[in-house]
Structure 1
């Protein structure tokens, strides 16, 4: 497929490294370009040993001509305003992400999940339900396992369960999941996509190549999702938390149903939060498309209490319950977390400033008794908390200090919730690092 083609891998990190190695294995002539200099790149020695060309420390625009590039495999984080990417577009050189590369070589069918919120939880639920039913699922994509690496071990017996972001989907051409799940659309990553319409179009690419052998899982409560689903030529299965649907999953009489059949009582579900019901319904639709039985679904829902960093219950210290929701990197995710609790909440929030205000949080502050702020957005979050009438607001330097401050001002029965409403990159490399610091600080209290 890529034999003797000249391929530029633009940007390293995990996905770029795996893509470069795979392309080399497939017989391509690979050039890697990364903005980090040689001495700051841990991966270059391995790539050099394979004979892969490396251009580091800058993005020289003449790269495409000098290396006669046929295709560009772009790290999802690199924006389309990058001069090399723009030049490639002008010269009609395809620019893809490694998700497209993974699809091209995969023997296994793919269940792909995207949406503004809930992707990781839904992806994990689908994986666990398939596994509980005796299928052979593999986790891949934005959830932490690079797709083009995972698919190399996949056979026709496997099902690859892949979380995909709008950044990754934008770089797809032929990507066609056998089951495509679109959870919801909210304003997110507009700094990358420019407009909401561009963002929606990127998400819609999950459906655009589907044929009559494919399945589209659609949130019927979200009109933008319904509109985007028109791009799919597959069978459509719907889910709703608000109404009964004739073909799919819904809630009735405090229970979850699928196609007129009761699956489980909500009280028997381990996963907390109203928003997680949406994720559960979507997961049920996806696995029902693969003939997973009710017993497997019930077993997972009765025991699965959440993924790490997403409303993760960390433990109780002196009557206070601690929850790690570090993956809440936008306002919507934090509103969903706040909706999950009726106990008094001490909210820990703050992080990278993307230019937005936080007034959208105000209606969800009804159970919030105190706010601890940190990071670049601390003044903005303080302003929103003051507008909501919260009197107890403290500012600290980092997440660890926030845990200790929250414990000091809290009472027995309170929930102490890290749900930053912001990306972590002003202080931490990843939301995972931020969440781990929170967890470690809670253990120090113990």
Structure 2
């Protein structure tokens, strides 16, 4: 690993920035703040970026900073390394210049909600806290204006970001849970776990809190968590304080509150403030979001559920069978075990996307209603026509959105729009 001084020496020449989206432009702003010029490379050619990275480009640079979407095997990164260039991810690079504390938050599911909640709670407690990373705002965006040794950066860290980290040093690590995801990028469950475990190796203190599934996966794969690790039972709701009137009273958000509570206690903060924050907190859009109810049928948008674990957690939340709309683009992982796990929670399965045929074949002999549909609106209409009062219609895909939608936000918005149109049509028919 190169030390910081060697990285700083590379800033004497223009820096190559791979990706010209939010992450890349934030890096450019940080570089400008440091008095360093940047050259952008993006296959889409957006914002005037070069569409390719050639040998002659490599000779102009000593440092490459890349966005999380670039895998370690990307041809541009391979070419840069062949030419001896140093290659760092955006968060890894930005952390070199951050003066404050870093709380890293990772896991298969729940990390965005936990990051947002702890940020709000810390602000209520009087701290300068900022939610950054995979949550939407890059760490590099903070540094030009908000860099302070008294500030706390709560960094939501995906496996795409953590897999190659060499300079990022968190003071605290919260690891929510562990289940199969992103196997199309990491090739195996061990590759996915190893990418996240890199954060354990980078931790500079004994402040490590993990869910029990993390400990179980670690043991299964032959990895060791430090002796000082606080391992939480993800189903234990004792000693959580007064949260009965909050969204944290039910699974799966109870798991997040357990992590937050333990972080709060080892930090020596007043738990009354955390409970006050819990009463104020609302989930971000597309995360088990109740969007409508009429005729005794409630409609829930959980488009953020892009993996098996998230959908299973959503199904368990209701305590009874639901009409489930799911399917999408596979990110790897075995669909068979997933189908078996969700079956007991299904009143009906209304399937869309690339995985709809596979899911239908796996569920068709169960005695549960199962059908595939060409689009989301058709699936929603079918679920509504079969639902009796009271019923839940849950859109929790369990797969990526990129087969039919731009991203999970686009997918969730289209579901909300479809529910709105269905309600309007129902009102007209009832008038």
TM-score (structure 2 length as normaliser): 0.87
Determine the structure 1 residue equivalent to 2:165. 172
Partner of 2:347: 369
Residue matched to 2:427: none
Q: Deviations along 1:391-419, whole A, 9 cap, x unmatched?
A: x2333333233333322221111111011
- Within the candidate set 386, 389, 406, 2:364 is matched to 386
State the Cα deviation string for residues 4-55 of structure 1 (Å, max 9, x = none): 2332111222111211232233222322111113xxx2x33xxxxxxxxx42
Q: Give the SS at the match of 2:35.
A: coil
Q: Cα–Cα, structure 1 residues 355 and 61, in superposed 2: closer, same or farther, change >3 Å?
A: farther
RMSD: 2.5
1:111 aligns with 2:103: yes
The counterpart of 2:17, out of the listed 5, 9, 25, is 9
Aligned twin of 1:350: 327
Distance 2:224 2:334 in 1: 33
The alpha-carbon distance between structure 1 residues 355 and 221, as it changes in their structure 2 partners (threshold 3 A), is closer
| Partner residue in 2 for 1:207 | 200
Match of 1:255 in 2: 238
CA–CA distance in structure 2, aligned partners of residues 20 and 303 of structure 1:
36
Match of 2:44 in 1: 36
Uncovered stretches (5+) of structure 1, i.e. residues with no partner:
45-53, 243-250, 258-262
Alignment partners' CA distance in 2, 1:107 and 1:193: 32
What whole-Å deviation, never above 9, does each CA across 1:255-297 have from its counterpart, x for those lacking one? 334xxxxx236x4442364232222111222233433311122
More helix by share: 2
Look up the match of 1:247: none
Matched, 1:60 2:54: yes
Give the 3 Å change call, closer, same or farther, for CA 55–173 of structure 1 in structure 2: same
Hey, what's the Cα distance between the residues in 2 that align with 1:288 and 1:61? 53
**After the TM superposition, which residues 42-81 of structure 1 pair with which residues of structure 2 at under 5 Å, given as runs?**
43-44=47-48, 54-56=49-51, 58-65=52-59, 67=60, 69-81=61-73
Q: Which runs of 4+ in 1 moved over 6 A?
A: none
| Counterpart-to-counterpart distance in 2, 1:330 and 1:434 | 15
Tell me, yes or no, if the aligned pair for 1:357 and 1:380 is still in contact at 8 Å: no
**Which runs of 5 or more residues in structure 2 are unaligned?**
1-7, 424-431
Q: Distance in 1 between matches of 2:37 and 2:317?
A: 51
Counterpart position of 1:415:
392
Query: When the two structures are superposed, what TM-score results if normalisation uses the length of structure 1?
Result: 0.85
Is 2:318 aligned against 1:341?
A: yes
> How far off is 1:157 after superposition?
2.9
Q: Distance in 1 between matches of 2:13 and 2:71?
A: 24
- 2:373 paired residue number: 396
In the alignment, which residue of structure 2 is the partner of 1:246?
Answer: none
Instruction: Give the match for residue 442 of structure 1.
Output: 419
**Aligned counterpart, 1:95:** 87
User: Does residue 201 of structure 2 align to residue 223 of structure 1?
Assistant: no
SS at match of 2:119: helix
Q: What secondary structure, in the 3-state scheme, does the structure 1 residue paired with 2:348 have?
A: strand
Distance 1:171 1:14 in 2: 20
Matches within 5 A, 1:422-437: 422-437=399-414
In structure 2, C-alpha distance between the alignment counterparts of 1:324 and 1:264, rounded to whole Å:
27
Distance 1:277 1:303, change over 3 A: same
Q: CA deviation at 1:149?
A: 0.5
Change (3 A) 1:15 1:176: same
Indicate how the Cα distance of structure 1 residues 332 and 256 shifts in structure 2: closer, same or farther if over 3 A, else same. same
| Correspondent of 2:183 among 172, 187, 190 | 190
Distance 1:241 1:209 in 2: 24
**1:211 touches 1:232 (CA, 8 Å); kept in 2?**
no
Residue 407 and residue 61 in structure 1: after superposition, are their counterparts in 2 closer, same or farther (change >3 A)? Answer: farther
Q: What is the aligned residue count?
A: 411
Shift of 1:79: 1.7
Select the residue among 122, 125, 128 that pairs with 2:114: 122
1:116 is displaced (CA, Å) by 1.3
Q: 1:300 to 1:313 in 2, by over 3 A?
A: farther
Summarize the Cα distance change of 1:362–1:295 in structure 2 as closer, same or farther, 3 Å threshold.
same
Could you tell me how far 1:356 is from its partner in structure 2? 4.8
The yes-or-no answer on 1:300 pairing with 2:277 is yes
